[in-house]
Chains A and B, each alone.
Chain A
Amino acid sequence: DTAVSQTPKYLVTQMGNDKSIKCEQNLGHDTMYWYKQDSKKFLKIMFSYNNKELIINETVPNRFSPKSPDKAHLNLHINSLELGDSAVYFCASSQGAGGGYGYTFGSGTRLTVV
Chain B
Amino acid sequence: KNEVEQSPQNLTAQEGEFITINCSYSVGISALHWLQQHPGGGIVSLFMLSSGKKKHGRLIATINIQEKHSSLHITASHPRDSAVYICAVVRGSQGNLIFGKGTKLSVKP
> In the complex, which residues of chain A have a beta carbon less than 8 angstroms from the beta carbon of B31?
99-100
Tell yes or no: A64 within 8 A of B by CB: no
Are B95 and A90 in contact, CB atoms less than 8 angstroms apart?
A: no
Are B95 and A97 in contact, CB atoms less than 8 angstroms apart?
A: yes
Determine the main DSSP class of B at the interface with A: strand
**How many cross-chain pairs have Cβ atoms below 8 Å apart between A and B?**
77
Render B35-67 as a binary contact track against A, CB cut-off 8 A, 1 for contact. Answer: 101000111110010100000000000000000
Residue of A nearest to B40 (CB): A107
- Please report the C-alpha to C-alpha distance between residue A56 and residue B96 in the assembled complex, in whole angstroms: 7
Render A49-64 as a binary contact track against B, CB cut-off 8 A, 1 for contact. Answer: 0100001101000000
Count B interface residues, CB 8 Å.
27
Tell yes or no: A83 within 8 A of B by CB: no
Which B residues are within 8 Å of any A CB, using their own CB? 30-31, 33, 35, 37, 41-45, 48, 50, 84, 86, 88, 90-99, 101-102
